[in-house]
Chains A and B, each alone.
Chain A
Amino acid sequence: MSTASTPKAPAYRTIFRDGLWDNNVAMGQMLGLCPLLAVTTSATNGLGMGMATLAVLMLTNTLVSLIRGIVTPQVRIPVFIVLIASVVTLVDMAINAWMHELYKVLGLFIALIVTNCAIFGRVEAFASKQPVLPAMADALAMGIGFTWVLVAIGAMREVLGSGTLFAHASLLLGDHFTWLEVTVIPDFSGILLSILPPGAFMALGFLIAIKRLIDRGIKARQERAALAGLVTQ
């Protein structure tokens, strides 16, 4: 936990591979499921939550990496919690004051980030042991990894539940992004279950199952390749 045991920072390639797929926050580490299940009723909501989480994660990972030299293992947990809670509150106030339109859409999510143990997870598992640059790269990778899962689950639930995709995206991203708002199935009243909380569990379950299937496929191919290599020798 302290600098005495600083392991060698992993390669940036590995950091991004871990964040986006192998050790993805939601599908690999299974962290941050509370905000994930709560807000993904639409792809836009997922994107908003993902971006807010990404911003907070970048800040906390950087700060913790900077102070990692003076924090002792015994008090690290309260120190990190104070830091994360303060950063989230500051971000909340800043967005409310200077980006109020965005706050109306994101406001609910920002407070929810405090409940996201993925933030603490990354701080504890990575930033408290690594230099600033790899810590920032890890935050970026994990944040993007979390965002794409949120958007994917949001999109699945939105298409099934209301027949649209990225509805109200222009409220979040500005008027330039009106083209994102698509009606996939016109005049569709939607499958209610998909919008309700059980729909979130199902969508996440399907996504994890698909990830496992793909991982198994890759592994099998690698084994076959290794075997073929042995035979030719």
Chain B
Amino acid sequence: MATILNPTYRSRLGYQAALLGGMCYLMSMLLIGGNTATHQLIDQHVLNDKLALLDQVMPHSLYDNDPVADSQVIQYRDLFKEPIEILPARLGNEFSGAALNLTVQGWGGPLNFIMAVDASGQVLGVRVINHKETPGLADKIELEKDDWITGFDGRSLSNTSHIQWAVKKDNGEFDQFTGATITPRALVSGVYRGLQCFQHWRQQAQAQTRAKEESGS
């Protein structure tokens, strides 16, 4: 049925295909334009957010390099399924510690946290970046709600044994919350595995510098 407002060419296949294709093309162009206009700003914001988080766990006096720029992504398959991000801290040219960006499986979903370790392998601080745990029960892992997370400060692989790296219910050293054991358990195990990653990474780095020194001399 052809009317002025609904001419016959509209019902042709070619028109429909061109309309759909043209629309997709136009929208892609808009998206490309939008991305070009915003991606630099967005990258800058992401970097700033990361630095702000780093500030919470790692004192500024500990580094004068740019840990975010020096960061490495490494995979330790037997400890974490996903590759982990290590942000090394250096003072002068001396290694002074590192921050690790880790994700473990919590009760409600992935639980993302950052932990800072000093050169001797002691935990400087742990902060949860984002999580999907039950509000009111397991969100005591946030520093704003409870100081539980500061219980990791000063812990290391040498001053806390393998058995002690567990919640009290599992005969370990760390408190669990009433009604929520899985979240603290995941976090304790995450920090423990994070320290192990740090140790591996440190040993590798030291072996590399030693090899470099030997080949240099």
Residues of A at the B interface (CB closer than 8 Å) are 2-4, 41, 69-72, 74-75, 78-79, 82-83, 86, 89-90, 93-94, 96-98, 100, 103-104, 161-162, 189-190, 192, 195-196
* Given A97-B41, A100-B45, A86 contacting B15 (CB threshold 8 A): no
In the bound complex, CA of A90 to CA of B30 (Å)? 8
Q: Which of B1-50 contact A (CB under 8 A)?
A: 3, 5-6, 10-11, 15-16, 19-20, 23-24, 27, 30-31, 34-35, 37-38, 41-42, 45, 49
The answer to whether B45 touches A86 (Cβ under 8 A) is no
**B145 to A: closest C-beta gap in Å:** 11
The answer to whether B37 touches A72 (Cβ under 8 A) is no
The answer to whether A93 touches B38 (Cβ under 8 A) is yes
* Given A41-B135, A72-B15, A98-B41, A4 contacting B3 (CB threshold 8 A): yes
Does B216 sit at the interface, judged by CB under 8 A? no
The answer to whether A3 touches B16 (Cβ under 8 A) is no
In the bound complex, CA of A78 to CA of B35 (Å)? 23
Which of A2, A78, A82, A189 is in CB contact (< 8 Å) with B6?
A2
**A76 to B: closest C-beta gap in Å:** 10
Give B119-138 as 1s and 0s: 1 = Cβ < 8 Å from A's Cβ atoms. Answer: 00000000000000011110
Residues of B at the A interface (CB closer than 8 Å) are 3, 5-6, 10-11, 15-16, 19-20, 23-24, 27, 30-31, 34-35, 37-38, 41-42, 45, 49, 134-137
18 contacts between A and B (CB under 8 A): A3-B5, A4-B6, A41-B135, A70-B19, A72-B15, A72-B19, A75-B20, A78-B20, A82-B20, A82-B23, A93-B35, A93-B38, A93-B42, A94-B38, A96-B41, A103-B45, A195-B136, A196-B134
Residues in A neighbouring B11, C-beta threshold 8 A: 72, 74
* Given A79-B23, A96-B38, A90 contacting B6 (CB threshold 8 A): no
The answer to whether A93 touches B34 (Cβ under 8 A) is yes
Residues in A neighbouring B27, C-beta threshold 8 A: 82-83, 86
Nearest-CB residue, chain B, relative to A71? B19
**A73 to B: closest C-beta gap in Å:** 9
Residues in A neighbouring B20, C-beta threshold 8 A: 75, 78-79, 82
The answer to whether B24 touches A82 (Cβ under 8 A) is yes
Q: Add 18 more A-B contacts to A41-B135, A79-B23 (CB < 8 A).
A: A3-B5, A4-B5, A4-B6, A72-B10, A72-B15, A75-B20, A79-B19, A82-B23, A86-B31, A89-B31, A90-B30, A90-B34, A93-B34, A96-B41, A97-B38, A161-B136, A195-B135, A195-B136
In the bound complex, CA of A150 to CA of B20 (Å)? 35
In the bound complex, CA of A127 to CA of B5 (Å)? 17
In the bound complex, CA of A28 to CA of B49 (Å)? 41
* Given A90-B31, A93-B34, A98-B41, A192 contacting B16 (CB threshold 8 A): no
The answer to whether A72 touches B16 (Cβ under 8 A) is yes
Residues in B neighbouring A195, C-beta threshold 8 A: 135-136
The answer to whether B6 touches A89 (Cβ under 8 A) is no
Residues in A neighbouring B137, C-beta threshold 8 A: 192
**A37 to B: closest C-beta gap in Å:** 15
